[in-house]
């Protein structure tokens, strides 16, 4: 496993170098001397160093890189993924493939009985859920993805992380960091949420990020910054949510000082988004430009 665990270091905002522009002008018969070319201003040093990424530059029709990603499969086998969802996750290229133009496209589509849903009925949709478990993890640093989300009632794309000890600790003791969740019934809003012992499920500590217009209209960059005893959420580089152990409810346990792995998925239906309706367009596509992990300098 490619565990990324840089030594903790308190972040400091670097001050940008300021350049002063001088202007010369002449009047009458006086000719101004040629101005010297301004000295090049070096870019301020970055606080972040890229340590892992998937840029999804594969040929059209190729599936996610097996060195980075593993598929979660099924529905009934996972009890509806804990949310009574309607999609059956597959490893079929129809549901997750490169488009040949630098994007991973995760597609949810209507399907005739791809497998059983949690309620014993045939699932009505297929989709994909991929993760970096046992392959790539991070303890501290910045994790982000640039994505264009699908819209529609019952559509539920997500970019999130689970504790690498999930198999032994179980959920919610493993902890869950929802970097970005979107449900079609609130088209102008995404959500960042933390789940752990004493604050899981509907009691997760979340915050909406309002866009002032449909989220699905464009690509956006969704980010979480994870430091010792602090987690920060950003959209397009602007912070909207921050939590520390002091943010937890009484009896809650902070379980985030350990490795986490990354998940991308596109769900259909479930307890939170509700069922698709006649207005929901299929296929629905979640387009991912890249996923990147940085360490803090």
Cis peptide before 172 (omega within 30 of 0): yes
CA distances from 251 to 246, 248, 254 (A): 11, 8, 10
181 classed as catalytic: yes
Angle in degrees, CA 266, 267, 269, rounded to 5: 150
Angstrom CA distances, 135 to 25, 66, 90, 154, 166, stand at: 62, 9, 20, 31, 14
For residue 136, give every residue at least 6 positions away whose Cβ sits within 8 Å of its Cβ, in sequence order, or none: 1, 2, 4, 52, 68, 261, 262, 293
Inter-residue contact 209 to 232 (CB < 8 Å) = no
Q: Return d(Cα 129, Cα 207) in angstroms, integer.
A: 24
Q: Which of 77, 176, 230, 257 is catalytic?
A: 176
Residues constituting the chain: 297
Q: Is 176 a catalytic residue?
A: yes
Catalytic position from the list 181, 239, 257, 296 = 181
Q: Going by C-beta distance under 8 Å and a sequence separation of 6 or more, which residues neighbour residue 77?
A: none
Residues with catalytic annotation? 176, 181
């Amino acid at each position: 496993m490619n565990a990324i665990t840089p030594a903790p270091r308190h972040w400091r905002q670097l001050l940008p170098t300021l350049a002063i522009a001088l202007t010369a002008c002449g009047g009458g018969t006086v000719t101004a001397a040629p101005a010297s070319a301004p000295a090049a201003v070096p870019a301020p040093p970055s606080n972040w160093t890229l340590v892992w990424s998937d840029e999804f530059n594969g040929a059209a029709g190729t599936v996610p890189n097996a060195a980075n990603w593993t598929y979660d499969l099924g529905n009934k086998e996972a009890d509806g993924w804990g949310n009574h969802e309607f999609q059956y996750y597959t490893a079929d290229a129809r549901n997750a493939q490169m488009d040949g133009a630098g994007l991973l496209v995760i597609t949810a589509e209507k399907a005739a009985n791809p497998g059983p849903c949690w309620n014993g009925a045939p699932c009505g949709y297929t989709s994909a859920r991929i993760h970096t478990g046992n392959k790539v993890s991070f303890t501290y640093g910045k994790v982000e993805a640039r994505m264009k989300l699908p819209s529609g009632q019952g559509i539920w794309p997500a970019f999130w992380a689970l504790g690498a000890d999930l198999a032994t600790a179980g959920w919610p003791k493993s902890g869950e960091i929802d970097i970005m969740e979107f449900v079609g019934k609130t088209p102008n809003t995404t959500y960042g949420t933390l789940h752990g012992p004493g604050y899981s499920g509907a009691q997760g500590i979340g915050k909406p990020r309002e866009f002032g217009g449909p989220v699905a209209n464009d690509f956006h960059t969704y980010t979480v910054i994870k430091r010792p005893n602090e987690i920060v959420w950003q959209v397009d580089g602007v912070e909207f949510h921050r939590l520390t152990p002091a943010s937890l409810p009484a009896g809650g346990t902070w379980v985030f000082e350990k490795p986490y792995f990354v998940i991308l998925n596109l769900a259909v239906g479930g307890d939170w988004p509700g069922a698709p309706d006649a207005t929901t367009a299929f296929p629905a596509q979640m387009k991912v430009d890249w996923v990147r992990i940085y360490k803090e300098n």
